[in-house]
Amino acid sequence: MKSKNISTRILHTPFLRKDSNNSLRMPIYENVAFEFETAQEIEAAFRGEIPRHVYSRIANPTVEHFENQIKEASGALGVLAVGSGMATLANLFVAIAAKGNNIITTNKLFGNTFSLVSTTLPSIGIEFRLADMTDPQSVEKLVDSKTVGIFFETITNPQLEVADVKALSQIAQKHKIPLICDTTLTPPDLFTSADFGVDVELISGTKFISGGATALGGLIIDNGSFNWSHNENLKPFHDQVGPLALIARLRKEVARNLGATLSAHNAFLLSLGLETLTLRTNKACQNTLETARWLEKQAAVKRVDYPGLESSPFFDLSRKQFNGKPGAVLTFDLDSKESCFKFINALKMIRKATNINDNKTLILHPASTIFCEYDKQTLDAMQIRQTTVRLAPGIEEAEDIIADVENALGAV
């Protein structure tokens, strides 16, 4: 019997091969090479004629089990785990695009992601066209014969903007291009991407999945809904392996050649964190909503953004797409950058750190940190304000988070 519950499916994902010691948890295969009995056998493995591990940069048993857990959680056709969230983006874009191709995205992206699409990948001839993802018409008018994808974040970081995923999916399907979504803030227990027409899902496993920010890692998830024969860069792979064309090109060429390897040890830690994913996301989302509602009542706070608030313009859409749990990140504005710094420095429990979705509550001033490389004009276009603080509630008790925030606001 296959359970409908994500937690159960994750916990009981079977091993592909029986463990020699009957371990209840996949062991850490902290090794690089794997021995074969004959030259013929290793040749067959390299040719892909038999399912065997040959070298851990390409595939590893511990990493493979983590990938299979994600397949169980998401219901995807194929999953590739890589070394970081940024590696998911770079490898996916290189796999689907070549010089002269373009991908439609937005400037409402995480700072490093925007750097990748505005500087790094354009230098090798891949164009990124910027649209307003909340306005489907602005997206569609940028599509042409060289467009190979539409890419966005389910909830933008830190603007907390939410796009209508089904509306974007209709455009992608009409033009036979894949819809690609970074769902880091809304992992599979919060957002079932396939139900809304997402073809490829990208996740930084470093966040919610790792459970306490113990390991870097990223996931490329192919829902199996896009016909890769429509992509000229993947058609040769589609001719060979059909629906698995994307994962095949990534594993056998792009990720292998670029060295996007997830270590076995990190895969073990991510797998361990995955077992408590739903418990932690539920608690963190609850804490975020309670804290956001409290902040709305504070005179010193000029603005609060969280899609779970009824005051948010994205409230109704978030309820429909994220089952009433739109992530665990909120932002609020004070009257100046100086007030933001004074507030952050006055916090006692909440940690000053750049990550999100740790078990601990974390805080950051986005404009001066993850967006510090951009000039005022670019920041204004991205809606990054000097007066904004980003808070990522963890799994402490909400009353303790609020008490620390209240004390720091008193200092301001």
Domain spans in the chain, listed from the N-terminal domain onward = 6-274, 278-411
In this structure, which topology does domain 6-274 adopt according to CATH? Aspartate Aminotransferase; domain 2 (3.40.640)
pLDDT band at 49 (very low <50, low <70, confident <90, very high): confident
**pLDDT given for residue 259 in this prediction:** 94
pLDDT band at 394 (very low <50, low <70, confident <90, very high): very high
Alpha helices (runs of H) in 351-397, residue ranges in sequence order: 376-381
Q: Are the C-beta atoms of 145 and 101 separated by less than 8 Å?
A: no
What is the average pLDDT value for the chain, to the nearest integer?
95
In sequence order, the 6+-apart residues with CB closer than 8 A to the CB of 241 are 248
Amino acid at 347: L
Phi, psi of 333 (to 5 degrees): -115, 140
Is pTM beyond 0.85? Reply is: yes
User: Tokens standing for 142?
Assistant: 């940028």
Q: What is the CATH number of domain 278-411?
A: 3.90.1150.10
The CA distance from 333 to 229, in Å, is 47
Q: Which helix (H) or strand (E) holds 219?
A: strand 218-222
Q: Are the C-beta atoms of 56 and 32 separated by less than 8 Å?
A: yes
